[in-house]
Chain A
Amino acid sequence: MKIEKLVYGIYPKTNDLRLHLSRWEKGLLPDSTINNEIIKEKEVLYKAYENFNITYTDPLFNWYDILRPIVLLTDNMEAGPLTRYKETNTFYRMPIVHEINDISIPPENFSPLNENPPLPLYIEKGENFNAFLPSPLSFYKMSKVDMKYEEFQEKLLNIYKNILKSFKTKSLVIYETLPLQKDDVLNLSQLTDKFSVKLVTTGRIYKSNIQGNLHSVICDDEYENIEISKSISRVPGIKLINGYNTRLESVDNINKILGKIGSDEVILSHKEYLDFLPRIIADKKVELMSRVGE
C-alpha cells in the first residue's frame, strides 16, 4: 500500500520566530526583515519535510489565523472582532464581508499588511508542496456576511482561482475546519477542473456534502467516513494524528488502522492543524508520521 503523509495548515513557530514577531509587532523590526525571517524558517521546515518524504502545505507562519490574509488581500472584506476559534482557547478575527469582487494585492509578492505579517501568501518549494486555502463553507460560517452561501462560494472560489494562478502550484489542500452538517453542500467543481484538490474534513461526513472531482477527501477515523472518502475521491484519506493532544501516537496502531482501509493508496494526516501543539511535540508527531508504513 502506498502511504502519502500530509502536513497541512498553520504549523507552530520556533521560539526565535516568535521573538522576531514580537519585535516586529512593537515596530522594532521592519516588514522586510520579518519577511526574511519567516522565509528562512519556512525553508528549514521544507527541508525537514523533504527529508521525511512528507507532503506539505506552506506552514503559514505569516498567517495570524487561517482566514486573515485572504480577508486582507480581498477587496471589500475586513478583519472584524476577535472571536473564539471553535471550542478552543484560540481566537481569530471574524471576517466582515461586504462584497467579494477581486484582489488588489498580489499574493505572490512581498507586501506589508495591517495586523498581520507581510505577504507572500506562500513560499513554494519542492515537489511535495501544496497550496492551502480554507473551505468556503467554514469561511462563510465563521464570517459576518450578508449574502447567500451559493453566491459567496462562487465568488470566493473565483478569488481562490486568481490566487492559485499567481502561483505555479497545481495541487492544494482545502481545509473544512468546522464539522459539516447533513444539509451542507460544498461544491468545489470550480477548482477541481484545474487543480488537484485534497479536502480535509472535520467530523462526520455525508456523501451529499461534497461536490467536485476531488483527489482526496481526508476525514476523521470513522468507518462511514472512510467508505464515503473511497467512493467520492480518488485516494481515501484519514486523520490519525491528534493535533489536540501532546500524547504521541503509536506507529504500530496507525499501521494496523491503515491496513484495514482496503485501498492500494491512502493519505495519512492529522486532526486540526498542528499550531495547537507546542513546537517540540508537533516536530515529534511529524517525525512519527514519517515512520508509518516502514
Chain B
Amino acid sequence: MENKYLISQEIGSFRKPKYLSSVFHKLQDTAELERLGGKSTLETIDLFQKTGLNNIGVGGEMFRWEMYEHQANRINGITFYGPVRSFDNRYYKKGSITDDMKRREPYHLDELQFLLKNNFSNIKVPVTGPYTMMDWSFNEYYKDRYETAMEFAKLLNEDMKELKKEWDKKYPGKKFEIQLDEPATTTHPDEMNIVVDSLNKSVEGIENVEFTIHVCYSRDYNLLYDVMNDIKIDGLNLEFANRDTLESGISDDKRPGFNDLKYFNERNDGKKFMGLGVTDVHIDYVEPVKLIEDRINYALKILPPDLIRLNPDCGLRTRSREIGYAKLKNMDIAKQEILKEIQ
C-alpha cells in the first residue's frame, strides 16, 4: 500500500553542511570536493531516511552549486562574463551563448555513479530542463528562442541517455526516475509551444524512465495544465504551500493554494500524478502535522491517492538542515496518519 499511495519525495536541493559550502568554489574540480560532496550526500541521505522519505532524490544535490550554472559550466559555446543579480544581494552566473553548443562533459553522471556505488535505488535525478536553460541564458548565437531551447534539449537528451545507460548497468529492467526542473515554464505564456517541443525533444527515445516536471512560483499553473497532456511526462511536482494559508480546514477558502488542483484534474488525461508541495520552503515556520494533513485531505477530495505524491514546494536549501528535517518529518507523520485512514 505504502509504495502506491502518497509516495513522499524530496524535490532536489538541501542545505549544504558548512564544511562543504564554505569551500565549494575554492575546491572546484578537485578530489577533495568529490570526497566532501560524497560525505555530505551520505549524511543527507541518512537524514532523509530518518524523516521517512520514500524517494531520496540525489541526496540534496551536494555535488551541485546551482541548477543553471552546474549544467552551463559543462557546455562548450557558453561564455560567462560575470554574475547577474537574482534578488537582493543574491547572484547567479548567467551564461552567454556565443557559439554552437556542445556538451564538454556529462552533467550528472558522477553523482549518479556515486549513488549507485552506494546501492541506492529509490532515487530521482533532477536535471534542469531545456526551456529554463534557454530562458536563463543570453543568446548571442542562435536564431531565436525556439532554436535555442531545442539545442539545449538535444544536449539534455544525450546526457539523460548516458544516465539511463549507467542505471541499467546496475538495475537492468528497473524503472529510472528523472525530474525535469523547469521553473521558467510559464513565465512567457505565448511560448508554451517551446516548452512542449523542447521537453519532448529532451525525452525522445529514452524508454523505461519515469519523467516528471518540477515547476515552482508560477503566476499561472493553468498554462501548464492546458498543455501537460502533450508533454511526454508521467507526473508534475509543483509548489502549492507557498500560495496557501496556514489555517486548518479542508474547505476551498481554507486551502486557496490548492484550488487549482480542480483544473488539473479536469485537464488530466487520467494518468499523470501530482507531486503536492505541502510545505513552504521560504519560511522557517514548520507546518504542523494537522495543517499538512488538511492539505493532503483537501487534495484527496479531488484526486485519487495513487495520483498524489508528497513533497516540499521546492528544494529545501533555503532553510537550515534542522528546519528542513523538521518539515520533512512532519510531512511523513501526516502521510502515515492519512494512510491509516485510506487502508
**With A246-B138, A246-B140, A247-B138 in contact, do A84 and B217 touch (Cβ < 8 Å)?**
yes
**Chain A: minimal CB distance from B177 (Å):** 26
Tell me, in angstroms, the Cα distance from A147 to B320 when the chains sit together.
39
Residues of B115-148 at the interface with A, using a CB-CB cut-off of 8 Å, are 135-136, 138-140
Asked if B86 and A91 make an inter-chain contact with CB atoms under 8 angstroms apart, the answer reads yes
**With A84-B187, A84-B217 in contact, do A18 and B83 touch (Cβ < 8 Å)?**
yes
Looking across the interface, which residue of chain B has its beta carbon closest to that of A85?
A: B87
B87, B138, B188: the one contacting A90 at CB < 8 Å is: B87
Tell me, in angstroms, the Cα distance from A90 to B94 when the chains sit together.
12
A65, A82, A88, A92: the one contacting B282 at CB < 8 Å is: A82
Asked if A64 and B86 make an inter-chain contact with CB atoms under 8 angstroms apart, the answer reads no
Asked if B219 and A84 make an inter-chain contact with CB atoms under 8 angstroms apart, the answer reads yes
**With A84-B219, A277-B84 in contact, do A89 and B140 touch (Cβ < 8 Å)?**
no
Tell me, in angstroms, the Cα distance from A77 to B83 when the chains sit together.
31
Query: Counting CB contacts under 8 A, is B225 at the interface?
Result: no
Tell me, in angstroms, the Cα distance from A13 to B138 when the chains sit together.
19
Asked if B89 and A245 make an inter-chain contact with CB atoms under 8 angstroms apart, the answer reads no
Contacts of B139 in A (CB 8 A): 245
Asked if B82 and A82 make an inter-chain contact with CB atoms under 8 angstroms apart, the answer reads no
Contacts of A89 in B (CB 8 A): 86, 92, 94, 135-136, 183-184
Asked if A90 and B86 make an inter-chain contact with CB atoms under 8 angstroms apart, the answer reads yes
Query: Counting CB contacts under 8 A, is A278 at the interface?
Result: yes
A13, A65, A87, A246: the one contacting B87 at CB < 8 Å is: A65
Query: Counting CB contacts under 8 A, is B85 at the interface?
Result: yes
Q: Interface 1/0s, chain A 151-181, versus B by CB < 8 A? A: 0000000000000000000000000000000
Query: Counting CB contacts under 8 A, is B88 at the interface?
Result: yes
A25, A81, A84, A278: the one contacting B84 at CB < 8 Å is: A278
Tell me, in angstroms, the Cα distance from A13 to B85 when the chains sit together.
9
Looking across the interface, which residue of chain A has its beta carbon closest to that of B79?
A: A246
Asked if B88 and A64 make an inter-chain contact with CB atoms under 8 angstroms apart, the answer reads yes
Query: Counting CB contacts under 8 A, is A7 at the interface?
Result: no
User: For the side of the interface on A, what is the size category?
Assistant: 20 to 34
Contacts of A278 in B (CB 8 A): 81-84, 94
Query: Counting CB contacts under 8 A, is B91 at the interface?
Result: yes
Most buried by B among A18, A87, A90, A246: A246
Most buried by A among B85, B92, B96, B138: B85
Q: Interface 1/0s, chain B 57-90, versus A by CB < 8 A? A: 0000000000000000000000001111111110
The number of chain B residues with a CB under 8 A from chain A is 25
Tell me, in angstroms, the Cα distance from A89 to B86 when the chains sit together.
6
Looking across the interface, which residue of chain A has its beta carbon closest to that of B80?
A: A278
Query: Counting CB contacts under 8 A, is A279 at the interface?
Result: yes
Asked if B187 and A281 make an inter-chain contact with CB atoms under 8 angstroms apart, the answer reads no
Asked if B85 and A12 make an inter-chain contact with CB atoms under 8 angstroms apart, the answer reads yes
Asked if A247 and B140 make an inter-chain contact with CB atoms under 8 angstroms apart, the answer reads yes
B85, B135, B188, B219: the one contacting A275 at CB < 8 Å is: B85
Contacts of A149 in B (CB 8 A): none
Query: Counting CB contacts under 8 A, is A205 at the interface?
Result: no
Asked if A82 and B96 make an inter-chain contact with CB atoms under 8 angstroms apart, the answer reads no
Looking across the interface, which residue of chain B has its beta carbon closest to that of A91?
A: B87
Contacts of B217 in A (CB 8 A): 84
Asked if A245 and B140 make an inter-chain contact with CB atoms under 8 angstroms apart, the answer reads yes
Residues of A55-85 at the interface with B, using a CB-CB cut-off of 8 Å, are 64-65, 81-82, 84
Tell me, in angstroms, the Cα distance from A25 to B88 when the chains sit together.
10
Looking across the interface, which residue of chain B has its beta carbon closest to that of A89?
A: B136
**With A246-B140, A247-B138 in contact, do A64 and B87 touch (Cβ < 8 Å)?**
yes
Query: Counting CB contacts under 8 A, is A21 at the interface?
Result: yes
B81, B86, B136, B282: the one contacting A281 at CB < 8 Å is: B81
Looking across the interface, which residue of chain B has its beta carbon closest to that of A248?
A: B140
B83, B87, B183: the one contacting A92 at CB < 8 Å is: B87
**With A18-B89, A87-B188, A247-B140 in contact, do A276 and B84 touch (Cβ < 8 Å)?**
yes
Q: Interface 1/0s, chain B 260-280, versus A by CB < 8 A? A: 000000000000000000000
A22, A88, A277: the one contacting B89 at CB < 8 Å is: A22
Looking across the interface, which residue of chain B has its beta carbon closest to that of A25?
A: B89
**Chain B: minimal CB distance from A284 (Å):** 9
Tell me, in angstroms, the Cα distance from A89 to B216 when the chains sit together.
12
Contacts of A246 in B (CB 8 A): 81, 96, 138, 140
Tell me, in angstroms, the Cα distance from A8 to B86 when the chains sit together.
19
Tell me, in angstroms, the Cα distance from A64 to B85 when the chains sit together.
10
Asked if A279 and B82 make an inter-chain contact with CB atoms under 8 angstroms apart, the answer reads yes
Tell me, in angstroms, the Cα distance from A12 to B139 when the chains sit together.
19
Looking across the interface, which residue of chain B has its beta carbon closest to that of A65?
A: B87
Contacts of A277 in B (CB 8 A): 84
Query: Counting CB contacts under 8 A, is A280 at the interface?
Result: yes
Contacts of B91 in A (CB 8 A): 18
Looking across the interface, which residue of chain B has its beta carbon closest to that of A10?
A: B85
Q: List 11 A-B contacts (CB under 8 A).
A: A15-B82, A84-B217, A84-B219, A87-B188, A89-B86, A89-B92, A89-B94, A89-B136, A246-B96, A276-B85, A277-B84
The 4 closest A-B pairs by CB, nearest first: A278-B82, A91-B87, A278-B81, A246-B96
Give the interface of A toward B (CB within 8 A): 12-13, 15, 18, 21-22, 25, 64-65, 81-82, 84, 87-92, 115, 244-247, 275-281
Using A18-B91, A245-B140 as known contacts, list a sample of 15 further A-B pairs with CB atoms less than 8 Å apart, ordered by residue number in A: A64-B88, A65-B87, A84-B187, A87-B135, A89-B92, A89-B184, A90-B86, A90-B87, A91-B86, A115-B88, A246-B81, A246-B138, A247-B96, A278-B81, A278-B84
Give the interface of B toward A (CB within 8 A): 81-89, 91-92, 94, 96, 135-136, 138-140, 183-184, 187-188, 217, 219, 282
